[in-house]
């Protein structure tokens, strides 16, 4: 069997050692010619896959080690009889940690407490749902918007325009869709951006085109009160430097880039491929994944809870590092092509980032009330009290 795969999928050699020939390529270069004699294609979000790309090739299985599937022509591939698998939820915890780090950073920058803000979550699936649970555990109020779920009977959801009118913070977690009743392309158009409440924090870690980036640049030029954090960009891998300059936080599509999230994505696709081939999945992530990162943490009695929370957050993931790296790259890039390549390089050479639950809390030496809150929010694991 010949498997063609994006070079940025970790642990693939280990998972697929017994599957035949594996060819690794930069994701953006994978095309019809690269898969002309491939049986299986494994990609990440930067490879667009359509039925036309696979026409006349033996490819019968396409796996994407990502949550998002907007780079795949799902109806076309289904009609062509190609099996498609994705990795739902694989890096959701990483995105939640990115959002929390944005909240902490924007709070420091604006000298306003994020714990008192009403947070609106648009799209309440794997990422948005976990974000809501985490914020709830931290005692932060949320408003949730998800019309497709509301249509299926979910309760307690509000319309987007109501959410915009009531929330201090808005975080987007929708898939990119271009047709249908609930299409998300330019969900945040100029009209909606103009009516954001004074001082709104708007965070987008879903897909770039969910916010009309041209309109956003125009609105930000007129409204210095808005604080915007963009992890995803309409013209990726090209970032408009003028838009980035107006954003409070600018990062290169790395919200979900914990090593744990990427490894889960590989494992999920390995399992899906085994199912497709009707072959037992004998390998597990636990056997193959690197074991590192677990630290222990104690909190002294009497330490303020908010300080502890900030400390835990910063220790887990600090969005300011990714923001600084993107801005340095943009400032140094002599051309648009260099900027595109710089964006991809930041993602390919991403520093090791582990998820927070690897951090154990020494419950015996910590304030029980605060320790319980941090454990409930998924920041740390801990023993008995």
Ligand X SMILES: O=C(O)[C@H](O)[C@H](O)COP(=O)(O)O
Size of the site for ligand NAD (CB under 6 A): 33
11-16: long-range contacts at Cβ-Cβ below 8 A with a sequence spacing of 24 or more?
Answer: 11/263, 11/266, 11/267, 11/285, 11/288, 11/289, 12/42, 12/266, 14/283, 14/288, 15/266, 15/267, 15/270, 15/283, 15/288, 16/270
Identify residues 247-266 at the interface with ligand X (CB under 6 A).
Answer: 253, 256
Is residue 66 annotated as involved in ligand binding? yes
Nearer to ligand X, 118 or 289 (CB): 289
Instruction: Answer for the pair 361, 381: CB distance below 8 angstroms, yes or no.
Output: yes
Backbone angles phi, psi at 381, to 5 degrees: -105, 160
Least distance in angstroms from the C-beta of 45 to ligand NAD? 8
> Using an 8 Å Cβ cutoff, are 156 and 162 in contact?
no
Determine which residue in the list 128, 209, 378, 382 makes contact with ligand NAD, applying CB under 6 A: 128
Stretch that binds ligand NAD, among 26-34, 52-60, 180-188, 328-336 (CB under 6 A): 180-188
Residue 258 annotated as part of some ligand binding site: no
Q: Does 293 bind ligand X (CB under 6 A)?
A: no
Burial degree of 277 (CB within 10 A; 0-12, 13-18, 19+):
middle
Task: Please give the Cα distance from 204 to 357 (Å, whole number).
Answer: 24
d(CA 131, CA 96): 5
Q: Which of residues 109-148 bind ligand X (CB under 6 A)?
A: none
Q: Which is nearer to ligand NAD, 90 or 374 (CB)?
A: 90
Please indicate if the annotation marks 257 as binding a ligand.
yes
Find out whether 180 is annotated in a ligand binding site. Answer: no
Tell me which residues in 196-215 interact with ligand NAD (CB under 6 A).
Answer: 205-207
The least distance separating ligand NAD from the CB of residue 271, rounded to whole angstroms, comes to 18
Strand ordering across the sheet containing 360-361? 296-297, 360-361, 381-382
**161 a known binding residue?**
no
Taking CB within 5 to 8 Å according to partner kind, which of ligand NAD, ligand X, none is near residue 127?
A: ligand NAD
Binder of residue 46, out of ligand NAD, ligand X, none (CB less than 5 to 8 A by kind): ligand X
Q: Rounded to the nearest 10 degrees, how much is the dihedral formed by the CA atoms of 109, 110, 114, 119?
A: -110
Query: Is 252 in contact with 346 (CB distance < 8 Å)?
Result: yes
Based on the shown chain and the rule CB under 6 A, indicate whether residue 8 belongs to the binding site for ligand NAD.
Answer: no
The span from the CA of 62 to the CA of 83, in Å, is 6
Which residues ranging from 16 to 75 are in contact with ligand X (CB under 6 A)?
44-46, 66-68
Confirm whether residue 45 is marked as ligand binding. Answer: yes
Q: Under 8 Å CB-to-CB from 45, ≥6 apart: which residues?
A: 27, 64, 66, 68, 70, 71, 253
Specify whether the CB–CB gap between 384 and 366 falls below 8 A.
no
Q: Name the phi and psi angles at 156, rounded to 5.
A: 80, 15
Instruction: Tell me whether residue 173 is one of the annotated catalytic residues.
Output: no
Angle made by CA atoms 296, 350, 17, in degrees to the nearest 5: 90
Question: Judged by CB under 6 A, does residue 91 bind ligand NAD?
Answer: yes
Q: Which is nearer to ligand NAD, 37 or 162 (CB)?
A: 162
Is residue 255 at the binding interface for ligand NAD, with CB under 6 A as the rule?
Answer: yes
Catalytic-role residue among 126, 234, 236, 355: 236
Beta bridge partners of 61: 40, 83
User: Known catalytic residue: 32?
Assistant: no
Q: C-beta of 183: minimal distance to ligand NAD in Å?
A: 7
Q: Are 382 and 368 in contact (CB under 8 A)?
A: no
Q: Is 236 a catalytic residue?
A: yes
Q: Which residue among the candidates 93, 207, 246, 347 is catalytic per the annotation?
A: 207
**Residue numbers of the site for ligand X (CB under 6 A)?**
8, 44-46, 66-68, 91, 253, 256
Active site residues: 207, 236, 253
**Residue numbers of the site for ligand NAD (CB under 6 A)?**
67-68, 89, 91-92, 95, 122-128, 145-149, 173-176, 182, 184, 187, 205-207, 231-232, 253, 255-256
Q: Per the annotation, where are the binding residues for NAD(+)?
A: 146, 231, 256
């Amino acid at each position: 069997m010949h498997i063609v795969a994006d070079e940025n999928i970790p642990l693939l050699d280990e998972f697929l050692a017994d599957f035949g020939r594996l060819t690794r390529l930069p994701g953006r270069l994978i095309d019809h010619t690269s898969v002309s004699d491939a049986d299986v294609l494994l990609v990440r979000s930067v490879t667009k896959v359509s039925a036309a790309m696979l026409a006349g090739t033996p490819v019968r299985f396409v796996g994407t080690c990502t949550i998002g599937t907007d780079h795949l022509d799902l109806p076309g591939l289904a009609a062509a009889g190609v099996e498609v698998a994705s990795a739902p939820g694989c890096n959701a915890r990483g995105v939640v940690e990115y959002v929390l780090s944005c909240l902490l950073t924007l709070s420091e920058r604006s000298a306003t407490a994020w714990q008192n803000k009403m947070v609106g979550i648009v799209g309440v699936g794997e990422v948005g749902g976990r974000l809501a649970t985490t914020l709830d555990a931290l005692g932060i109020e949320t408003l949730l918007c998800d019309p497709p779920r509301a249509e299926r009977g979910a309760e307690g959801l509000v319309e987007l325009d109501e959410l915009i009118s009531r929330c201090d913070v808005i975080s987007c977690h929708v898939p990119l869709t271009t047709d249908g009743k609930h299409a998300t392309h330019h969900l945040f158009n100029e009209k909606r951006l103009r009516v954001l409440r004074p001082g709104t924090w708007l965070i987008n870690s879903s897909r770039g085109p969910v916010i009309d980036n041209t309109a956003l640049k125009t609105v930000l030029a007129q409204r210095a009160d808005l604080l915007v954090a963009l992890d995803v960009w309409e013209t990726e891998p090209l970032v408009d430097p003028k838009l980035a300059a107006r954003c409070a936080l600018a990062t290169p599509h790395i919200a979900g880039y914990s090593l744990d999230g990427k490894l889960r994505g590989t494992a999920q696709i390995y399992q899906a491929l085994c199912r497709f081939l009707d072959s037992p999945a004998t390998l597990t992530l636990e056997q193959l994944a690197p074991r590192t990162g677990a630290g222990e943490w104690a909190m002294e009695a009497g330490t303020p809870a908010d300080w502890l929370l900030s400390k835990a957050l910063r220790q887990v993931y600090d969005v300011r590092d990714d923001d600084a790296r993107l801005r340095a790259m943009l400032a140094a890039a002599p051309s648009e092509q260099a900027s595109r390549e710089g964006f991809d390089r930041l993602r390919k050479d991403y520093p090791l980032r582990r998820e927070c639950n690897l951090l154990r809390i020494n419950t015996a030496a910590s304030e029980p009330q605060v320790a319980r809150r941090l454990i409930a929010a998924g920041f740390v694991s801990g023993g008995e009290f």
